[in-house]
A = this chain, B = another copy of it.
Amino acid sequence: MSAFSATLTGPVLVIGAGLLGASAGLGLRNLGYTVYISDISPTVEAVAEDIGAGTSLRAVAEEWGAEAGFVLEPQLVVVAAPPDVTAELVVKALGEYPQAFVIDLASVKSAILADVLTSGADATRYLGTHPMAGREKSGPVAARGELFAARPWVLCEHPLARRELVKLAQQVAVELGSTVTFLDASEHDRTVALISHVPQVMSSLLASRLQDTPLYALGLAGQGLRDTTRIAASDPNLWVQILAANAQPVVQTLYGVREDLERLISTLEAPTDSGSRLDIAQLMSEGNHGVARIPGKHGGAPRAFAQLTVLVDDTPGTLSRLLHEIGELGVNLEDLRLEHSPGAPVGMAEISVNPSEHEKLVDDLTSRGWKVVT
């Protein structure tokens, strides 16, 4: 009986050649590992091979086939499929490749782990993981080997998982550029419910109100509406699977939202009642406290930068010139947000800098002819 290595040497079989799978394949190939890639759709699989994400399993099977005595023995199987079908693909891979470790990349973990554990498959060779990368794009054409760079990758240890598997999975994540976090499956699901799934729901709830909003009204919309509805442009099909698979933690949080919403509605139905103002102020204030807990840049304590907003013509090179001049003035750009004027061909560049540099920068930029709007 062969021992399991804790070190990735390959080959790797990626099952599912969408954005995540194809990017993982690309990234691992770029690192020098042998990668095979497979997808339920022959076209997707062929495209993934074309972009360099790995050797198409269909093509290899065609060429070599069982008659030639070919048996693929991957060291690691990466299941990169939608949440709905992930567990079954994991179980199938555990059966088909008895020497392989199997990880998955789905964004919900408890449901899949539960299915694997009750399947009778060898769960010691399975680890649930979640690389928190990639967004609105989908499909292999958008795949990049660097997709995972500087992103978090969560590994969900469970009591049966072999030590070697956990180390190997960690190596994969680190070599692909991620920062690794360990959470058990339930912690993970509660976490993503709060930081990803409920925000998605709130954004969609808000955006659906806009369906009947007159266009002239939407024409006055500023950054507040855009920010709060940006992620409402997400793929319904994917999110149906995610929300259904993570229903419990999500609905627990939504109970709290419903309670607050009910209280606010009652208050606004009688806004002049005594205590109404306090109610509203309390909700706003709790929101202040919540948002202030979100870490600042790079996970540090939220830092108070000073902002200035500079008007930039919407012509090529203007923003670049502004940033260049800020650099020339020796000031470090801590953050940048670009807004567009609803009615004029200009943008507003909201620059964040160290508070100690704020006043002089405003003066310097103004004397160089820039319009500092606020």
Contact = CB atoms under 8 A, between A and B. Distances in A.
Contacts of A256: 209
Given A202-B206, A240-B284, A277-B244, A227 B225 contact: no
Interface string A187-218: 00011101110111111111111110111111
B218 A195 contact: yes
A290 B343 CA distance: 20
A286 B203 CA distance: 11
A31 interface: no
Interface stretch (A45-53, A64-72, A117-125, A331-339): A331-339
Interface string A209-253: 111011111111110111111111111110110011001101101
A281 B240 CA distance: 6
B224 A264 contact: no
A277 B288 CA distance: 34
B225 A196 contact: yes
Given A251-B265, A281-B236, A218 B295 contact: yes
User: Is the interface on chain A under 10, 10 to 19, 20 to 34, or 35 or more residues?
Assistant: 35 or more
Given A294-B229, A295-B218, A316 B332 contact: yes
Interface stretch (A4-12, A74-82, A318-326): A318-326
Contact of A146 (B151, B248, B319, B371): B371
10 contacts: A191-B216, A203-B287, A205-B261, A206-B257, A233-B288, A240-B277, A254-B268, A298-B341, A319-B323, A320-B320
